[in-house]
Copies of this chain bind each other. A is one copy, B any other.
């Protein structure tokens, strides 16, 4: 890992070899003017490399563009006065060095591989006139004798069509797929029979079914090895961005049917893609596990969502039976069974249960706050002994929803912003170093925090009208800050951040914080009792922790208690695909969670109203922010 020392300040930072010098400077908290996000078009980020080797184009004057230069060894980099606008910027936030980025959470549980469907090799005596027992009874006889004494074995009708061929093709040696029935460990159903020994060819697929995106992973069941991974948007997006609008669409004639068809078709496509990419045989796929929120799960199964929306918010089911291929209607081979992660309530779904199981909160003694800042803002508080959960209705602002130039975290999204405390000029980085198209979640947090830290906005989120910068201006929709000028964007218009955006964000972070408070209060605790915070979701790794605390999105506690965990829903789905114990645990977790319905909670409303300040009305809750 190379080091870069920045002159004249002398600060040194460890960097990855694929970090540009600009990104390294951002990590070190050193401001370099950079308004195109790394696209190499603004020419503002010129620096001089005084020692070391790097990859990147040298300019005629011997300088290089920091956004397009990558270290090949340790470097010493001098920032000219016109680039380093003000070194005092970094003095204002010394903690940003290192500790500002969260560590990755390591699961508290490692499940042994013990899949819900497993294959066993069975050898049968060939039939004869003196042993005329049927193919199926012959198989059962041997299974009972060799593998499953005193076990209740059932049979999936779909195996019977192929059974005689498999037995004879395999010369009376077959691999039998046995599916555990319910939670029982001594009741199995024969779900498939293959000719010969195919016991090492068992595959499974784990899917995170999100409101916006879907991720699917193909796993080798025996080893747990990840073979292939694909992601795509949820095609239901065209019928509504969030779960509420999807449920509204579902009420229309054919609406539910349409939504179900769209998503089953997409899942089917993704599964087929996993197999075509990996060159594996879909016949070897025995089961699929899917973790989705309650609404997504209902829509996938074609279940009525009307009562999820209406008071008192009742799901059709929270625990789901295994679905056969036929019942799932995905057009996949008949032997493939599907398991759906259990849900807790209308707005705390299988993705959260799966996340808890994946990370193993039910296996740790430490009091844990598990946060999924998605469109809904679900939170779980607890440990191995108890759990409470709630949905904060935070809305999708931190995913870019309802934000004028908000966008998802894809190429061209502004992902980090640093505001110069004197000139109020921004230093931005975009995903992929392309010209900006919009601002994604982590960019939104750092922008909001930066504007607040530099005093561009006040504690109520209103722009100061008296600043000496053209970037704060009155736009058509009210006051706004110009993040990227039109010429440096891909979208032929200035990218701006409006007061309305800020209002949305304050409401969203307020809902989250009020959620933590309400849950904590319900169990007689405060934020200081939290021993660890685990942040689920794709943007966890990009969030600047200090900034997220600054705006009051995360509680102001010891920084080393924070961990990001990535896609915990998928993590749990994988655990369930590989381990019956994880499936059993998911049931237990869903049952042990006490759900608090915040929509009807007066304390929550009080906390929420108090949270509509930056970082909060009650600064005592944010001592480190207050001290700055």
A interface residues (Cβ-Cβ under 8 A, vs B): 127-129, 131-138, 152, 154-158, 160-161, 163-165, 168, 181-182, 184, 301-304, 306-307, 311-321, 323-324, 326-327, 343, 345-346, 595, 597, 600
Contact = CB atoms under 8 A, between A and B. Distances in A.
Contact of A312 (B128, B168, B303): B128
B163 A132 contact: no
A160 B129 contact: no
Contact of A132 (B303, B304, B327, B595): B595
Contact of A136 (B127, B157, B318): B318
A132 B302 contact: no
A131 to B, nearest CB: 8
A114 B209 CA distance: 44
A323 B157 contact: yes
Contacts of A345: 132
Contacts of A303: 160-161, 164
Given A152-B184, A327-B158, A132 B313 contact: yes
A322 to B, nearest CB: 8
Contacts of A132: 312-314, 345-346, 595, 597
A90 to B, nearest CB: 50
Contacts of A302: 161
A157 B321 contact: yes
Contacts of A163: 316-317
Nearest to A182: B154
Given A301-B160, A312-B127, A312-B128, A182 B136 contact: no
A154 B317 CA distance: 13
Nearest to A304: B164
Contacts of A184: 152
Contacts of A326: 326-327
B321 A135 contact: no
Nearest to A599: B129
17 contacts: A127-B312, A129-B597, A129-B600, A132-B345, A132-B346, A134-B318, A135-B316, A136-B316, A136-B318, A137-B318, A152-B184, A155-B321, A157-B301, A157-B327, A158-B327, A161-B304, A164-B304
Given A184-B152, A313-B132, A316-B136, A164 B307 contact: yes
Contacts of A138: 314
A152 B304 CA distance: 26
Would you list the 8 A-B pairs with minimal beta carbon distance, nearest first? A136-B317, A134-B315, A134-B318, A155-B321, A129-B312, A157-B327, A164-B304, A127-B314
Given A134-B314, A327-B157, A304 B129 contact: no
Given A129-B600, A155-B321, A326-B326, A314 B135 contact: yes
A134 B316 contact: yes
A131 B182 CA distance: 25
A161 B321 CA distance: 13
Of A161, A346, A600, chain B has the most CB atoms within 10 Å of the CB of A161
A135 B315 contact: yes
Contacts of A154: 181-182, 321
A137 B597 CA distance: 18
Contacts of A181: 154
- Candidate in A137, A319, A345 with the most chain B CB atoms within 10 angstroms: A137
